[in-house]
Amino acid sequence: MKIAFIGSGKMAEALIARLPSRQVIISDIDRGRLEYLKKKYSVAIAADNKQAWDAADVVVLAVKPQQISVILEELKGRKKKLVVSIAAGIPLSYLRKRLSGSPVVRVMPNNPCLIGAGISALVKGSGVTPGQFKQVENIFKLVGETVVVPEKWLDAVTGLSGSGPAYVYVVMEALIEGGKKNGLPVALAKKLALQTVYGSAKAALMSGIEPGGLREMVTSPGGTTMEGLAVLKDRKVFDAFASAVSAASRKSKLLGRQWAN
């Protein structure tokens, strides 16, 4: 199976790095980027997007949303291929219409995919066979976990897991700053904060206990944790994070409307 990547940014590279080099061909307007990836991963590079498309069984559209219309116009009328789009906000209907009915899978990966620890939400478009969908799932399992969702949920997914890493990084930054303000050296504060977030997530994944239950395990009546949680409650931090997911979801939906036709 030959896989073409149209666009060669960080997310594309995360996948390219984990695929057999003989399976991969890439195209990009940045020739320097192509030469870098060719040298690093021994992959083939295409002269242009059309050549990449023609050489592949699966085409991954790994470009920014604002670039998509130009690229789809360039590829219009070519032989049908299985297409995977990681371009945020671009609906299946828009993609299929402009790709002459090629079967399309939409995917929303997230930032931790760059280190193989992400989660990608997959939307199966009409005309995608079970075998084809399994191929796409296997590609994205190389960079983390996968879930299958209906397209109507993808804006909410974007607000949660797509934007969510940024919210978690804010938590990390805040914990580090709190450590510094209380006299810890920066390096130690960073180590404590990052391992605390990592370990907490791992405990939630592996223990089978709900996050609320784990929180209660850490919180002794009248203790230090309860004192800190009281501040978070007073500052409405819980509501702020939930509202951040909602705000990002609304923005995703708003951006998607421009591609409705």
Binding residues for NADPH: 49
Give, to the nearest 10 degrees, the angle between helix 237-257 and helix 224-234: 50
Pairing relationship of beta strands 44-45 and 24-27 according to DSSP bridges: parallel
**Binding annotation:** 6-11, 49, 62-65
Q: What 3-state class would DSSP assign to 16?
A: helix
**Binding annotation for NADP(+):** 6-11, 62-65
Contact 62, 34 (CB under 8 A): no
Neighbours of 145 (CB within 10 A): 15
How many Å apart are CA 170 and CA 34, to the nearest integer?
33
Backbone angles phi, psi at 39, to 5 degrees: -70, -40
